[in-house]
Amino acid sequence: MSRILITGAGGYIGRQLGERLAADHDVLGLDVRVPEGLPFECRRGDIRDPALADLLREHGAEVVVHLAAVLEDSGDRVRDHDIDVNGTRNVLRACLAAGVRQLVVTSSGAAYGYHPDNPAWIGEDQPLRGNPEFAYSDHKRQVEELLADYRREHPALGQLILRPGTVLGAGTRNQITALFERRRILAIAGSPSPFVFIWDQDVVGAIVHGVQTGATGVYNLAGDGALPIQRVAALLGKPRLVLPAWLLAAGLAVGHRLGLTPHTPDKLKFLRYRPVLDNRRLKEEFGYRPAKTSEETFRFFIDHARQRGQL
């Protein structure tokens, strides 16, 4: 039994992970909002609070799982950066002050960035080039640079970094799934726009595996295979709306100028150049094999979303 603290414990993954770990470990959650009905103790608090080290010492935390992050752009880039980057810096400092032995962090495949020269399959040795125009991608890159500095300077704190692809589960609903809810699936001419999916239970399972084994290292977290946008549309049973990139860019430029959309033409990179994660090291070195492939994960999501009338 280990003493574990989970940041973002009231969130989508956090509450599932806390419930799973609480069966075998002493778990304490931390979140700015504590939902009712959690099957483990959870305190209200902010990861930026300097008193975090005191909480870790009070709990006797040996392992910290850091899930807290801004998942959707709030429109306040300074605030989001403060939570994502400075919040992680405070978590690192607290872990060192409290003598934590393992820090598990969920990063993202978005840290690699959305670039036309991305390799067909991205391995963990590829450079992190999170796009400055995408807050989430940019902040994940900065967080990982910070983590790398601490690995060099404080090797006693073992770090396990997981970079998930697009996470889907039975009840997922977010900006990505909103793309699948449209009557026609937007596609950019000449761009396969591939998706790699990971089942939410595999995200939880991989973290549990990392905690139980005390593993360290950096690993992509994705199901086998990738689904180009044409396959995504076919599985949804929806037609594609295929438009040239220049036309979409012009439409976004005009719409943004008129205040009709917050998106700029740069956002086309998000659809055109999606990073495709290679999970070989996850399976061969980390020792975790996802229970579902990318396509099986997507089919699972579709089945449950249709039952709810989401699709």
- Predicted TM-score (pTM) of this structure: 0.95
For the chain, give the mean pLDDT. Answer: 95
Strand order in the sheet with 217-221: 41-44, 26-31, 3-7, 63-66, 102-106, 158-164, 217-221
Residue 263, pLDDT > 90, answer no
Q: What are the structure tokens assigned to 69, written together?
A: 């992050």
Q: Give kind and range of the element (H or E) at residue 66.
A: strand 63-66
Residue 226, pLDDT > 80, answer yes
Q: Give the whole-angstrom CA distance, residue 224 versus residue 286.
A: 15
Would you call 283 helix, strand, or coil by DSSP? helix
Residue 256, pLDDT > 90, answer no
Structure confidence by residue, pLDDT tens digits, 118-144: 999 999 999 999 999 899 999 999 999
Q: Is 45 exposed, middle or buried (0-12, 13-18, 19+ CB in 10 A)?
A: middle
Q: Give the whole-angstrom CA distance, residue 183 versus residue 161.
A: 37
Instruction: Give pLDDT, residue 202.
Output: 98
Comparing CA positions, the residue from 169, 175, 254 lying closest to residue 204 is 169
pLDDT class of 264 with cuts at 50, 70, 90: confident
Structure confidence by residue, pLDDT tens digits, 61-81: 999 999 999 988 778 999 999
Structure confidence by residue, pLDDT tens digits, 30-42: 999 999 999 999 9
Residues in contact with 271: Cβ distance below 8 Å, sequence separation at least 6, in sequence order: 186, 188, 191, 193, 229
The DSSP bridge pattern shows strands 63-66 and 26-31 to be unpaired
Q: What is the DSSP letter of 170?
A: T
Q: Give the whole-angstrom CA distance, residue 180 versus residue 199.
A: 17
Average of per-residue pLDDT across 154-172: 97
Average of per-residue pLDDT across 105-122: 97
In degrees to the nearest 10, what's the CA dihedral of 267, 66, 123, 145? 70
